[in-house]
Amino acid sequence: MPRKKKGEQIISVEGVTRTFVISGGREGKLFVLRGVSINVTKGEVIAIVGASGAGKSTLLHIIGTLDKPTTGKVLFEGKDVFALSDEEISKFRNQKIGFVFQFHHLLPEFTALENVAMPALISGETMREAEAHALYLLKLVGMDGRAAEKPPKLSGGEQQRLAVARAMMNNPSVILADEPSGNLDTANAQQLHDLIATLSAEQDQTFIIVTHNEALAKRADRVIRLKDGVVQ
């Protein structure tokens, strides 16, 4: 993946820590993140790597507002998201962030088209209003011929491409992906990596990806290594 020129900064993580209180015989604290600071520019593909337990998924969840930092800030386009109310955070998350997980989290009773449209439907659009954009995204990920199929009839690779299309439905500022190719065989993983590269280059889509996959990390614009909750 070619390195991009420096663009507009859209995310700034400033001194984020995350501590959990643990109990079991005696109370203590688990320090998962210890003052992490990173900046993300538009169109960048960032891979977050590190051993299990390094804090990768915790950092991703905080960036995605699925979890809150113990201390520190996350700024999206200059706005401190954790200064918002819970309702405002939920609205922000649906409008500004797309998620892709290892196990898809697709709704099996709905068609591929309906699954892709779901974020827009949650935002209050009707299916008629959302359909054209959902079909465009299905074509973008090479799934337009499978629009009427339901997830159980799709391969693992097709389901993950569908998950990427769904993540893009509301034109998010960033797509956060947690081990997106972790459940795929080598050929399907390669196709997914190609898709991410294409969407970054052609759609200027920003990705932050937690991965153990060395091939995917090598194709990122930048690699962030976490060890014991600290950026190396």
Q: What is the CATH number of the domain that holds 160?
A: 3.40.50.300
User: Can you give the pTM of this predicted structure?
Assistant: 0.89
User: In this structure, is residue 153 part of a structural domain?
Assistant: yes
By percentage, how much of the chain surpasses pLDDT 90?
60
Amino acid at 130: A
User: In this structure, is residue 4 part of a structural domain?
Assistant: no
pLDDT of residue 148: 96
User: In this structure, is residue 79 part of a structural domain?
Assistant: no
Range of the domain at 145: 43-68+96-231
Confidence at 42, pLDDT banded by 50, 70, 90 = very high
pLDDT of residue 150: 95
User: In this structure, is residue 35 part of a structural domain?
Assistant: no
Domain count, the chain: 1
Joined tokens for residue 209: 């990806």
Minimum mean pLDDT among 27-31, 58-62, 142-146, 192-196: which range? 27-31
Confidence at 189, pLDDT banded by 50, 70, 90 = confident
| pLDDT surpasses 90 at 2 | no
User: In this structure, is residue 224 part of a structural domain?
Assistant: yes
pLDDT of residue 24: 61
User: Regarding predicted confidence, which is higher, 161 or 21?
Assistant: 161
| pLDDT surpasses 60 at 81 | yes
174-178/9-22 β-pairing: unpaired
User: In this structure, is residue 223 part of a structural domain?
Assistant: yes
Express the helix, strand and coil content of the chain in percent, nearest 5 each.
40, 25, 35
| pLDDT surpasses 90 at 85 | yes
User: Regarding predicted confidence, which is higher, 6 or 117?
Assistant: 117
User: In this structure, is residue 113 part of a structural domain?
Assistant: yes
User: In this structure, is residue 19 part of a structural domain?
Assistant: no
Residue-wise pLDDT for 133-186, tens only, equals 999 999 999 999 999 999 999 998 899 899 999 999 988 999 999 988 888 888
| pLDDT surpasses 50 at 93 | yes
| pLDDT surpasses 50 at 1 | no
CB atoms within 10 A of CB 104: 20
Contacts of 107 (CB under 8 A, 6+ apart): 114, 115, 118, 151
CB 219 within 8 A of CB 42: no
